[in-house]
Amino acid sequence: MNGMLLSMVAYDDEGNPDPTTVKPLIDGGTEGFKGNVRSVVPGITACLECSIDLYPPAVNFPMCTIAHTPRLPEHCIEYVKVLLWPKEEPFGAGIGVDGDDPKHISWICGKAEDRAKEFGIEGVTYRLTLGVIKNIIPAVASTNAVIAAACATEVFKVASSMYAPLDNYFLFNDVDGVYSSSFSYERNPECLACSQKPQLITAKPLDTLQDLIDALKEHPLL
């Protein structure tokens, strides 16, 4: 969506965006008791790619902990998913874990309970197993309502021009009480999506396609 909206923006000879081609984007999301709203004006404000660094990395458990010293029920579930499943292949050779198949989840949950008992760990449930396998983040109705209302308010501002829109990032947190703040996230001048700045990659005459792919992987911005 980010790339599509940016591709619709036309620029004049001086590199300024044509306002008639700009389609604003209001984006919101929640994670448990936390939420955020962003107002993106393609070609003018920071795009989604500019703020990609705000996203925390995915939670990964060390393999040594999973295999030898589990301390949490999640460690037991990951052990069954990562190590035991490929070894035992409970539903046939080459069949991977399907998070939407209750039989798969039940098998993993049962094996995880056995491992949890072995290490004196409590808390392995079907629901937790499903959450770990599918990386599900619990939704909180009150947080969803706040963020949905904030998004609707921003859409109304943009559509009616009755009030200045958000500039351009809003945070909400009600883990301990209620906290909210807003700030202006600046555009990344090196952003691959919206900066209109080409990135140079040096290649040798005898480089192959694989060399180009490797260079793209190692490029700090790509």
- The DSSP symbol for 124 reads -
Q: Is 64 a catalytic residue?
A: yes
Catalytic pick from 47, 64, 76, 151? Answer: 64
**Which of 156, 150, 188, 152 is CA-nearest to residue 169?**
150
Contacting residues for 143 by C-beta, under 8 A, at least 6 apart: 30, 32, 33, 34, 35, 172, 174
Q: How many helices (H) and strands (E) would you count in the chain?
A: 8, 4
| Alpha-carbon radius of gyration of the chain | 23
Q: Can you tell me which residue has the tokens 């080409």?
A: 198
Active site residues per annotation: 64
